[in-house]
Every structure is written in structure tokens, then in C-alpha cells.
Structure 1
């Protein structure tokens, strides 16, 4: 059964949020696209365009029904055969697809809620994805190409098999609910090694003048061989050029619980690699403690927490964690970018030092 893209997860765009809420109601049989357009006539052209994209990729039929019977080989986008849905996020849906021209399987991200009416913006979308294609590192998911087919924007990427860190966190959370939270040295060392590898991969991207802006557990895949790979660099931002970001000026990009204070406060144009360090620190904190450093029942409350509240010392949650690790994590989570690690490589080095019981460079 087709599922609605979670377009509201990583954007403040009103149209995307309304469309995502509508799709949830539509799947429950409680809404029609005509009703949505009648309630919000100012957005009807955009909604019809996005609806057409779902028809194009086979999510729904032309009659407005869920595409329940379409076989995997009948769903196409240009030269790509859409085999199955493998993920969804703030910008759209990701499919396992077959590139029939190059005869390889790829992860194809379809950006349902992206405006292609502006030729300049579409060209910028393609150029920014091409910038991400410069990345060549085993810990970074390769971007092959980006384009627009039948008014549907897409990004073709390396297909990485494995499980996300979000999956691992859920598994650990389920196990700890019966056994209690307590970190074994083996688990700690494995986690620290993985975190170090992620930070080193992130540094490689930063050295190529790209920041990710949406580091979170669901955007990090762990392969069957245990190698972490950062996903979704297709909408990374170029630090070295004069291109503006794909999101509108002042618009927040990222997943709220993992955003840095500068992202939350809308300092879009001044972001640098230290915003990714904060998000990675949040991810590692959650991986080790099974709690996020900043939590609140509403998005507004979460924003206030990120901007004004200090995270709890992770040792208050799990006293078995080393004291130096607390210092490392809290340094990465400092609200002032100037007091965080200057580079992801510095972060990686201190994670290594904790793992091998060497003195860390950060100071409380």
C-alpha cells in the first residue's frame, strides 16, 4: 500500500505541510484532492502539480485510488523502473530503482514537494546535486545524478543495503527496556568506532566545501559489513560557491530534534560544518543514552529547548559512560559554534581518544 510522504518532517513550508496532512487523511478515505484545493485555493495549482507527480510515479491511480495492484515493473520514471519504496523523508520518497540505461540498481529520491516552475531554481537544484556528486568517500553515499522527468524532480544515488542508526536505536531501546540501561565496554567501543568513522566521513564532505544540514540517525546507514554511510547528500549545501541554498532565504532546513541552534534561529546563510557537528553530537548522544538531548512535546517547545536549555550530562542517564565521553559530547553540543569542535576531524580524534583511553583534547 502506498504511504504518504512525510513532507512535514524537515520543512517549514506551509504548502508541504498541508499536502502531507491531506495525504494521511486521503489514505484513511477521509479526503479528496478537490476538497483540499477548495479549502486552500491559493495553493491549488501547487497541490495539483504534486498530486500529478504521485500519479506519474504510480503512488496513486489517475482516478485517485491507491495504486494497490500495479506490479513493480509497471511503475516508471523516465528510464528508471521503480521496484519498491525503501524510505521517505522531508523532501519526498526514496525507491529502490533499476537504471535501465546503465543496468544498475540505485536509490531514487523523488522530490514530490519541490517547485519546478522556476527554471533558475530547478537549474540550481541540479547544480547542487552535481556538487554532492564530487564526494568520493566510502562513508558517504554517492550521488550519481539529478534531473527532472515529467515534471518530477529526482536524485539518483548509490543503493546502500543495511539498517539505519534509527533502526539500531529502536532495537537497543527494546532490549534495554527489559535489561535496563548499562553500556558494556564492547558496545561502547563499537559505538565510538562507528561515531568516529561517521565524523571522519563528514570531515571529507566539509573539506569538499559541502555541509549536510540534516544529520540524524535515519540518514546514516550501517552496511552488512558494519560500515556507516551518511545518506542524503543530494541536497547538501555548497560552502565554497556563490549559490544560494535550495530552501528559501530564512527557511529552516533539517529535522527539528537534530537541528543546531543556528538552524533553529534561521541563520541559514551563516551555516558551516559546525552545524553538522552539533547534529552528529545529538545523534551519538541518542545512540548511547537512548534519549535525545533536547525533547519537548511541541515543535515550539523543542526550538526553545535547543536555543536556551543545556543538555543533561549523559552520565546522569547512564553512569557507566566515561567522564571524558561526556565532555566530548557536550563540547559537540555547545550552543555557541565557536566553542564546539572546529572541525569534524577534531571531533573524530577525541572520539578515538576516548575509545583507546587516551587523554582528550577538549576541556570542560
Structure 2
């Protein structure tokens, strides 16, 4: 074992006297304590042969020899041997693993862990060996796909395992059928307990591996670059759940045949989604489509998946056909203002909550709202119907009856979706972000640009920040010399102004520059830190020149049209002025008839003069 790796201390065996009724006949017993530390002596692991390969390392079949004062045990185990890590990061990973080792052992839906070691200079995680996986069953079935009853059964067990793992603060981030192991009792268990999550902040020696946080075919958009497009959250695993179920249904891996770069372009750039086959029970089809919402906040929770899959099992015939789920209606995916029913169902209002009218997602708050702020004094409705709340608004005698989906809870002055700023700024990430959760006790979760996961803290650490919305024009602040991301300049060297086309869940702004004329593959979409930009509008432009420059920001053709219009106006004025001058000259010049008469008169005078002389 390398000297840099500090193995956790093992609790030694000890002896005690066992009293069995007769104080003169005490029996000495040697107690071997249960394993409380994850460290495994490398010499006790005997590798046999490699049985698989994943994005983070190889999987080996091995024998784990355990011995004590009164026992000798040999266990057949699977060993995940990670690709090489830098020496200074190996201890960091083992420390993370140690904190979660015993918690993982208590989860029935997660594979049983034997421990961790360092073999051949690589971190090796030993776990119980399972004979098969969902991926193996698919490979042996006709068409490579499973029956709908099996998918619903495995999906329910998978959702339960995810809920268990999420409860101890872990994300899987590597959801795929080959990682869904099958126990001896035909129960699905998670074969990956969150290795990518434990590797966050720990770079691989291989630069290509450092860019990955899962298997590309199953990765959510925010997984490709979580510091920029994140944060990683519980809903990130929901995307992987959906990809896995689609593969079970079709027998075809999502984005099959595409390279990692092509998958990135499809998922992140073009925002394409895996195709969900038709003909499924409506509730199942609806929730699977919800797994592929680009904005992670609009995806269902794992508890929603579990509810749908368990309830749908009762609607399936033995031959795989399905019947309707009774009179319960299937809610539409979106209820307006950019929200899905999954987003709205993540918070349940209670009597006594302070509420206000819900703002549109990533859009400007309307000037007129039904409820600026009030208190819920009653609730009316149930989960299957449109629920209403009775809201007491200060200054109004009677309570308003308002649909719950149009209200948002306000706690300590904050509501989910608000733009917030840390009171104590930090250089490790942007201090401006978007609030993802605020509990009634003041606990908050915020997505910040520069953090891979949600920031967790208290409401008193935050203050309201200037909101941004899609369609708003922004530019870099004057004091920003070196922005976090590349930003275009005008010909004079000043920063360009652009229009926000998208807002990511961590507050990162995607800005387009319609005022720039670009050729070929030159980029015209750039990212921006919300802490580095300021709003631009006609109201903020002080003079007529600045207002005209802002008009140029709307389209690159404004300046050429302005120049063309100026030239046309100048030509028109020149022509009009020329015509005016010509008309004046003609008016002052004698006409042709007068000139002819004058010439005839001179001829007569000359003739008369000559005749007189004669």
C-alpha cells in the first residue's frame, strides 16, 4: 500500500467471560467485531480475470479472504478497479468512501460493499458478486428488450433503490441497465452506488476521463459540464432512469452508434431527447417524457416515478397488455408560464404559508398580479382535481380563492426561482444564482455558476439580486476586465451588448448577439456570469447616440440600413435642391419668344437705318 494512503484503523478482537448461570463455570469467548471500516488489505484480494469495463475503470472477478480468531472465510467478489488517480487525490476518495460505507450497507436496494483497497496502484472497490444484470437479461431476450410487466417491476425496484441512495446524500450519475444487478431473489439492486459522485473534484490522470461524469449515452445535459450547465441534483439521475427504461422498451441504447462528441452535440447543443415509444399506459408515457425535460427543475422526482410504476403494475394483463387506470385523469405536461406539473408538485402549500402570484419561469414578472403577497387561510380540492387556496390579502376584507398552481410560497422573503446573491462573496464561484429550494425552517439550496452541485445554506446568508429574463439585453460591467467566459467586442474595442436567449438552472446566461454580422462557423452565442453583466435598455441609455447604438444591438442590418437610408436621404435632398435651383434659374431667365421678338426688333432697326442712309 502506498505510503500516501492512510488505512482506517481496524478494531482488534477481544476476549470476555461469558456467564451461563454458574459463577464458577465462566466461559472465555473471543469476540470478533463486525467490520466498521472499509479498508481491505490488498493481500486478501486475489484477482481472477476481468469481467467488464466501464467509463471509470475495469471490473474484475476476485476472491476476498477474511479471517479472524475463530474463522476463515472466502468470498467471491466483484472488484471495480478505477483508472489511475493522482496520488494526492487517492486519499481524498478513500476518505469520502469511508464516510458513506456503513450507510450504504444499510440500503437493501444497493449492492453490498465489502470495502476498498489499493491494488497495483489503483483504487479497488470490492462488492458482492451478482450473477446477472438487467442488461444480461435484455441480451438474452428476443429483440433485446423486456416485457412491459418486467419493466414496471424493475422500474419500481430501481426507483426504491434510488430513493434510498439519495437519502444519504449520494447521486448515481451512471444509470444504465448493465449497472442494475439482479439478486438471487430476482430483486434489482443498484450496482453503482455513486462512484462518479465521489469522484467530483478529483481529476483523472487521463484528461479525456476528467470531462466525463457518467456513460455518455445516459448522461443528462447538466452532466457534461456541471460547473457551467449544472447543478447536478436528484433530477440528474431521473434523466438516466428515463434513458434506461427507453432501452428496456426498445432494446436499443439511446444515441446508439454516436460518438461522445456527437451525443454532446445532440443533447446539449440541439437539445434532442431520446424517443419514447408509443402505446404505453398514458401515465407511464407521460412520466418518462418528463424525465427528458431540458431544465432539470421541470423533471419529476424519483418518488413520482415510483408512484406511476407501482400503480401501473395493477393495470397490466398477464400477456403484457394494459388496461386504463380508472377515471383518474392524466395531467398535461405544462400548465403555462414554462412550468410542468412535476415542477409544481415539488412543494405543497399549507395553511399559514405566505404566498404570492407565481412568476413566469425565466421571464419578466408582470406588473399586475392577482396576489402580491398574502397568507393561506384555507385549502380546497384534492390531488386529482385543480386545488384552490383561500388567500387573505392585507387591505382586502374577503379572502381570495386562487388556484394553487398559480401561487408560490414565500419564506423569509424568498421563493423558489428567485435570483439571490451571497452576502459574503467568494472567489470559488459566482455569488449570484437561482434559488432551488427554501424550507420552512430557513434551509436553502441554490444553484451557482462554478459549483458542480447545489449550494446548501441558510436564508440569512442570502439577499435578493437583480433578476434576469429571456429576451433581456445585457453587456459586461465597465469594471470587468477579464470575464469568466469569452465575450465579443465592437470594432472600437468596447464590449458588445447581447440578448439573453436562455437561462440555465445555476443562473448561467446564454447570450446571443443579433447586432453582430458573422460569417461561416464563427460563434455568435456566448455564456455569461450574471455577476459580470448589467441590463441594457433605452431607459439606461443616457443620450440619443447611446440609444441609437442600442438600436443597432437588435440586428446587424440596422447599421447598413441606416447608412443606406442616410445616403438615400442625402441623394434625395441633393436632387430636390438641384431641382429648386434649376427652377429659380428658369424663372429669372427670359423665355424663348421674348428673345425672338427682341432679335426681330433689332433687325427692323438695322433695316430702317440703312434705308434712311440711302
TM-score, reference length from structure 1: 0.66
Distance 1:116 1:266 in 2: 22
User: Which of 253, 270, 287 lines up with 2:248 in the alignment?
Assistant: 287
CA contact (8 A) 1:128 1:234 kept: no
**Which residue pairs with 2:183 in the alignment?**
223
In angstroms, what is the RMSD of aligned CA positions?
2.8
**1:126 lines up with 2:82 in the alignment:** no
**Which residue pairs with 1:306 in the alignment?**
267
User: Once the 2 structures are TM-superposed, how far is the Cα of residue 203 of structure 1 from its aligned partner?
Assistant: 0.8
User: Once the 2 structures are TM-superposed, how far is the Cα of residue 360 of structure 1 from its aligned partner?
Assistant: 7.6
- SS across alignment from 1:334: coil
> Is the deviation greater in 329-338 or in 146-155?
146-155
Distance 1:236 1:144 in 2: 19
Q: Which of structures 1 and 2 has the bigger CA Rg?
A: 2
Distance 1:212 1:145 in 2: 18
- SS across alignment from 2:87: coil
Distance 1:125 1:323 in 2: 43
- Name stretches of at least 5 consecutive residues in structure 2 with no aligned partner: 1-40, 68-72, 316-324, 334-614
Structure 1's 362 and 189: CA in aligned 2 closer, same or farther, altered over 3 A?
farther
Distance 2:90 2:331 in 1: 43
Structure 1's 284 and 84: CA in aligned 2 closer, same or farther, altered over 3 A?
same
- Name stretches of at least 5 consecutive residues in structure 1 with no aligned partner: 1-75
**1:109 lines up with 2:84 in the alignment:** no
Structure 1's 123 and 196: CA in aligned 2 closer, same or farther, altered over 3 A?
same
Structure 1's 144 and 349: CA in aligned 2 closer, same or farther, altered over 3 A?
same
Structure 1's 81 and 147: CA in aligned 2 closer, same or farther, altered over 3 A?
closer
Structure 1's 165 and 246: CA in aligned 2 closer, same or farther, altered over 3 A?
farther
Distance 1:277 1:147 in 2: 31
- SS across alignment from 2:110: coil
Distance 1:90 1:311 in 2: 21
Distance 2:108 2:330 in 1: 27
**1:100 lines up with 2:59 in the alignment:** no
Number of aligned residues = 267
**1:206 lines up with 2:177 in the alignment:** no
**Which residue pairs with 1:55 in the alignment?**
none
Larger RCO, structures 1/2 (Cα 8 Å, 6+ apart):
1
Distance 1:256 1:137 in 2: 27
C-alpha offsets along residues 193-237 of structure 1, whole Å, 9 cap, x if unaligned? Answer: 111110111111001100011111111112342111111226252
Structure 1's 209 and 360: CA in aligned 2 closer, same or farther, altered over 3 A?
farther
C-alpha offsets along residues 138-190 of structure 1, whole Å, 9 cap, x if unaligned? Answer: 220122322324523211212222x2222222223xx238xxx8x8xxx3122
- SS across alignment from 1:314: coil
- Give the number of the structure whose residues are more often strand, by fraction: 2
- Give the number of the structure whose residues are more often helix, by fraction: 1
CA contact (8 A) 1:142 1:158 kept: yes
**Which residue pairs with 1:20 in the alignment?**
none
User: Which of 329, 346, 355 lines up with 2:288 in the alignment?
Assistant: 329
C-alpha offsets along residues 118-148 of structure 1, whole Å, 9 cap, x if unaligned? Answer: 1xx1111102222442212222012232232
TM-score, reference length from structure 2: 0.40
**Which residue pairs with 2:140 in the alignment?**
171
